[in-house]
Amino acid sequence: MRIHVLTLFPNLFDGFLDESIVRIAQEKKALEIDLVDFREFATDRHRKVDDRPFGGGPGMLLMPDPIVRAIEDLEHRIGPTHRVMLTPSGTPLSQETIGRLARLPELTLLCGRYEGFDERIRDVLTWEEISIGDYVVSGGEVPAMVVIDAVARLLPGVLGDADSAAQDSFQNGLLDFPQYTRPRVYRGIEVPEVLLSGDHRKIETWRREQAIERTKERARRLGRVVPGQGDATDATTESCDGR
């Protein structure tokens, strides 16, 4: 998979791309990251990419031409890509969305800055708009890193254990179950006896029950309707949105 990131600050990605799962994904040739500085597509001698909004107001807006030209140049070279605009007005990111993005051969992420985008960036090009939550950060680079990291985990061969991703929170609509390691007793708190029983069927049943209960508790905290006592899908499908 190849992810193209349109950003004014490509150096922000230096440490992120060289560490942990994202580094492993690149080393295994499962993931390639292409950083595109769309300031390079500004046409004036000052390489200007932003300007004041018509009608007044604080801050600056990203101008349409550098971004549109950057996309057109990219897709002229490699063909169509799935375009994602990272914006607070987008659909909340979910594990389901990450799974869909991870199956794409080419993905383009657009990182905003300043007060946002000139609306004609949306009008001229087609985007999927995604938000990582109901809050504001200084630009789209951190949200892009979130998407890249989450996608990298799902690429074949990246994780050492293929079951690791399958057991992550939000897979099948469930949060992860409680887990324990040594010591057996820590500050008076003991590991649940069932995990020491060696009975794998009982352990799987306990883990599933705990995952369902933890998911329901999260739904209650968020003020959502908690479905009845059906199976895991019945109990949790509407309770997790990935934020």
Find the catalytic residue in 10, 88, 178, 227.
88
Find the catalytic residue in 75, 128, 149, 168.
168
Other residues' Cβ atoms within 10 Å of the Cβ of residue 110 = 26
b/e per residue 134-145 (b: at least 16 CB within 10 A): eeeeebbbebbb
pLDDT at 170: 54
Backbone angles phi, psi at 91, to 5 degrees: -70, 135
Cα 211 from chain centre: 22
List Cα–Cα distances, 24 to 3, 49, 98, 154, in angstroms: 15, 34, 18, 12
pLDDT at 160: 74
- Say if residue 229's pLDDT is above 80: no
pLDDT at 173: 78
Domain map of the chain by residue range?
A: 2-154, 167-236
Q: Is 115 a catalytic residue?
A: yes
Query: Residue 36 corresponds to which tokens in the numbers above?
Result: 């595109």
pLDDT digits (tens, 9 = 90+) for 1-46: 999 999 999 999 999 999 999 999 999 999 999 999 999 999 988 9
H-state helical runs in 79-188: 95-102, 120-124, 141-154, 162-166
Q: How many angstroms separate the CA atoms of 4 and 26, rounded?
A: 14
Stretch 153-168: mean pLDDT: 76
Q: Percent of the chain beyond pLDDT 90?
A: 80
- Say if residue 145's pLDDT is above 70: yes
Radius of gyration of the chain (CA): 22
- Say if residue 232's pLDDT is above 60: no
Residue 231 zone, left/alpha/beta (φ > 0; ψ -120 to 50; rest): beta
Q: Is 117 helix (H, G, I), strand (E, B) or coil?
A: strand
Residue 213 zone, left/alpha/beta (φ > 0; ψ -120 to 50; rest): alpha
List the beta strands (DSSP E) in the chain: 2-7, 32-37, 50-51, 61-62, 82-92, 106-111, 128-131, 185-186, 189-190
Stretch 94-111: mean pLDDT: 97
Q: Is 33 helix (H, G, I), strand (E, B) or coil?
A: strand
pLDDT digits (tens, 9 = 90+) for 66-80: 999 999 999 999 999
Find the catalytic residue in 37, 73, 96, 115.
115
pLDDT tier for residue 166 given thresholds of 50, 70 and 90: low
Domain 167-236 has CATH 1.10.1270.20: yes
Q: Is 168 a catalytic residue?
A: yes
pTM: 0.83
Q: Roughly how many angstroms between the first and final C-alpha of the chain, as a whole number?
A: 24
The residue with greater pLDDT, 29 or 224, is 29
Query: What is the chain's mean pLDDT, rounded?
Result: 90
Stretch 223-243: mean pLDDT: 47
Q: How many angstroms separate the CA atoms of 152 and 158, rounded?
A: 7
Q: What is the DSSP letter of 133?
A: S
Find the catalytic residue in 2, 23, 153, 214.
153
Assigned CATH topology for domain 2-154: Alpha/beta knot (3.40.1280)
- Say if residue 191's pLDDT is above 50: yes
**84, 108 contact by CB (below 8 A):** yes
